[in-house]
Amino acid sequence: MRDLGKVIDEMIAVIPPTEGEVLISRLKAQKESFLFSAPELVGMRWGVTAECLAEELGNVRQTEGWKKTVQDIWMNRRS
C-alpha cells in the first residue's frame, strides 16, 4: 500500500510555489490530517486528498507541465 504522506511530499516537490500556493497549502493540511488519523480513516484521507486535487487541478487530464506531473504521481505513473 502506498504511503499518502510520501505521495503528498512527492507532489509538493514538483509544484512551483508561485503557481500552486493554494494547492501546496491544502496538500500540507491533508498530510497533517493523515499523519494524525486513526488507521481505519486512512482510506477516507485518500478520498479527501483526491477531492482536493480535483478542485485545484480540474477533472480534465493534464497533458503537460507540473500539473501533469502531479497527476502522474497521484496515479502512480512515471512519465
Is residue 78 within 8 A of residue 31, CB to CB? The reply is no
**pTM score:** 0.91
The C-alpha cell at 16 is 512551483
The per-residue pLDDT for range 17-62, each reduced to its tens digit, is: 999 999 999 999 999 999 999 999 999 999 999 999 999 998 888 8
- Return the number of other C-beta atoms located less than 10 Å from residue 69's C-beta: 19
pLDDT > 70? residue 79: no
The angle at the Cα of 46, spanning 40 to 47, to the nearest 5 degrees, equals 100
